[in-house]
Structure 1
């Protein structure tokens, strides 16, 4: 049984996630089919264009994290590229948007349909939906994701046995295939994959449902504008504020100290 708290949230509190969880094998199959069937050119385009990039979140060593998705800040990827007129070194905006649409429709029709239905029925609650893969040996340094208007859900798709986990405050939490882990990422955290296999989840960022919708949408708009000006390839997901500050290290250390105090 999981012990939920202010940063590790009960997925059942968010019923709009249920359809994704019930269809996790369909989502996994779309992901694995893409990895197996996509051409080298399609794979390169996907990771160059459809994946959010961070300038501030760092890893220990050379192991990598890769990501790509179909929805960012409530817009399907091709719409997001057009709306922000993103310019890529190898692709003009219109070309990138067209290729993104073709890939989304070719490889991820079921996931796109699920997300579209959820947002139609829940006032656009889901903001980002993308696949995140931890490659073997990955160890991400302590950081925050400064999105105080959103929670982040991880739907386990491919989770190897062994030490692949999320350290947040004093806890170490583990992903499980077919289940959501929901976190408030404004708390300092550092995930890792110490296994010899990839770990892949569907990351689903969604508005905090206990906050006024107009307020969180206004904050998102201001934040995304700033992030896109600084780094258009972040797709609004990452920003300078994600870097852990002194107070975040103190908060992380205090959480461990409190846990030791309980034990003693």
Structure 2
């Protein structure tokens, strides 16, 4: 029986997540079909443009984390690019937005539909929805995601057997295909993938339902404005505040990470 606490939350407390969970195989199949069918140009554009880029979250060695998605800060990515007029080295905002829309309609219609359904009923509760892949050997240093207005759900899509886990505070948690793991990411955490296979989940960030909506929207707007100024390719997901303090390493029994964390600073 799973023990939940203030940072490892019961998915059953968020019934709107079931709409996504019920479609997990359809969502997984859209992801795998995209990887198998997309052209080299489409793949390059996707990983260059449609994924949040962090300047603070570091990985150990040459191991990689890749991500791309279709919803950021409550807007589909094509709308988000237009709103912020994000300029890319190889694309104007207008070109990037048009390409993003075309890819969503071509490869992810079911995911887009279920997001629309949930946000229609739940008053735009979903904020970020993207695919996150841990490649073999991944080891991310201890950090926080300073999003105190949101929780993060992970819907397992492709989860091979082996040591693929999330260390958060005093717990070591595992993903399972077709199930949600829900965390409060404002607590220190460090995930890893010590297998020879990729692990992919659907990352779903959503407002904390118990917080006043006007308050969380105001906080999000202020936070996103700062993050986009610091790094427009963060898509408002990551920021300079996503850094654990040395005291956190010690408090949560993860002081062994301090040596290589200092090397990555």
Instruction: State TM-score, norm by structure 2.
Output: 0.95
Match of 2:73 in 1: 73
Mapped partners of 1:252, 1:224: distance in 2: 29
Provide closer, same or farther for how the CA distance between residues 39 and 148 of structure 1 changes in structure 2, counting only shifts above 3 A: same
Mapped partners of 1:251, 1:59: distance in 2: 21
How far does residue 254 in structure 1 lie from its aligned partner after superposition?
A: 9.0
Match of 2:226 in 1: 226
- What is the SS of the residue equivalent to 1:241? coil
How far does residue 236 in structure 1 lie from its aligned partner after superposition?
A: 0.2
The equivalences for 1:1-264 within 5 A come to 1-253=1-253
Mapped partners of 1:248, 1:185: distance in 2: 14
CA deviations 1:176-216 (Å, max 9, x no partner) are: 00000000000000000000000000000000011100000
CA deviations 1:11-37 (Å, max 9, x no partner) are: 010010001101100000000000000
Structure 1: runs of 5 or more not aligned: 256-264
Mapped partners of 1:42, 1:180: distance in 2: 29
- What is the SS of the residue equivalent to 1:117? helix
How far does residue 220 in structure 1 lie from its aligned partner after superposition?
A: 0.4
Considering only aligned residues, what root-mean-square deviation do their CA atoms show, in Å? 1.1
- What is the SS of the residue equivalent to 2:172? strand
Contact 1:159 1:177 in 2 (8 A): yes
How far does residue 243 in structure 1 lie from its aligned partner after superposition?
A: 1.4
Mapped partners of 1:193, 1:21: distance in 2: 23
Contact 1:188 1:251 in 2 (8 A): no
Instruction: State TM-score, norm by structure 1.
Output: 0.95
Mapped partners of 1:152, 1:22: distance in 2: 18
How far does residue 252 in structure 1 lie from its aligned partner after superposition?
A: 2.1
How far does residue 246 in structure 1 lie from its aligned partner after superposition?
A: 2.7
How far does residue 245 in structure 1 lie from its aligned partner after superposition?
A: 1.8
How far does residue 247 in structure 1 lie from its aligned partner after superposition?
A: 3.6
- What is the SS of the residue equivalent to 1:15? coil
How far does residue 39 in structure 1 lie from its aligned partner after superposition?
A: 0.3
Mapped partners of 1:36, 1:63: distance in 2: 22
